[in-house]
Amino acid sequence: MQIWCPSTCLVTITREFRVHVATDGQAGIEAANQLKPDLILLDIQLPVMDGYAVAQNLRANPSTANIPIVAVTSHAMVGDRDKALSSGCNGYIEKPINPETFMSEVELHLIKK
């Protein structure tokens, strides 16, 4: 199982997951195209290209269009969730994450794949 996670999202995974990290939005797109991960955890506040643009780019590319994308972000104002979902994200998890529920929330999106 491969998961792409931006550098601002630090995850300790005790199950059998491989996590790849990208340092900015453009690098994340390139990594997703190369790795074809099973899931993308996407921060919204990224350098070079924000998470909304990353999600839109990934959805527009046939080779990455079906990869589940979960926004993991501190953007928690009214409308932020809807904006992430309308940009192409399948899910939305607010920071700070709850370590007790985070993996189950992530796994929901892997099951739907």
pLDDT band at 2 (very low <50, low <70, confident <90, very high): low
* DSSP state for residue 10 in the 8-state scheme: -
Beta strands in the chain (DSSP E): 2-6, 18-22, 39-42, 69-73, 91-94
The CATH H-level superfamily of 2-112 is: Response regulator (3.40.50.2300)
Entry pTM:
0.83
Q: With cut-offs at 50, 70 and 90, classify the pLDDT of residue 8.
A: very low
Quote the DSSP letter at residue 97.
P
| Percent share of the chain, pLDDT over 70 | 82
Put residue 36 in one of left, alpha, beta given phi > 0 → left and psi -120 to 50 → alpha: left
Domain boundaries, the chain: 2-112
